[in-house]
Amino acid sequence: MIVAVMLTIIAVFSLYDSALVIYQLIVPPTLPVNLIDVINALLLTITIIVLFETVTVYFRTKHVEVRALLIAGLTGMVRHILVYNMENIEPMTMFATVSLLAVLIAGIVLVRPESPG
């Protein structure tokens, strides 16, 4: 129960941060706001919401939805690629990132959606 409360608090703050970054993008700010910052904030909020949903479903059903965790992992990897510019990166790190993305995508495709009930 405490985990659900903590995730709710984090989700609210993350949603507030996303709204603030979007507002700064629309209204001329004193500091420049990058579109990548907006996307990063939104993807972080989506990841937190998916994890929150996974925890609440677990508390109700005592069953973990693997597909939701894979989607959260994929969202986190996209955030990682956007935040840490992949332009000046070693080939082995690039290969590891692409491999991890491929495994996450394959897992999402191969894991069957949970049947209701």
Residue 115 lies in a domain: no
Residue 117 lies in a domain: no
Domain that holds residue 62: 2-110
* Cβ atoms of residues 92 and 100 within 8 Å: no
Residue 6 lies in a domain: yes
pLDDT per position in the chain (117 positions), as tens?
A: 676 677 778 878 888 888 887 787 777 665 566 777 778 888 888 888 888 888 888 888 888 888 888 888 888 888 888 777 666 778 888 888 889 899 999 998 998 776 665
What pLDDT score does 72 carry? 87
Helix axis angle, 66-83 to 91-110, nearest 10°: 150
Q: For the whole model, what pTM was predicted?
A: 0.65
* Cβ atoms of residues 40 and 82 within 8 Å: yes
Residue 98 lies in a domain: yes
Residue 116 lies in a domain: no
Split into its structural domains, the chain has a count of: 1
First-to-last CA distance in the chain?
23
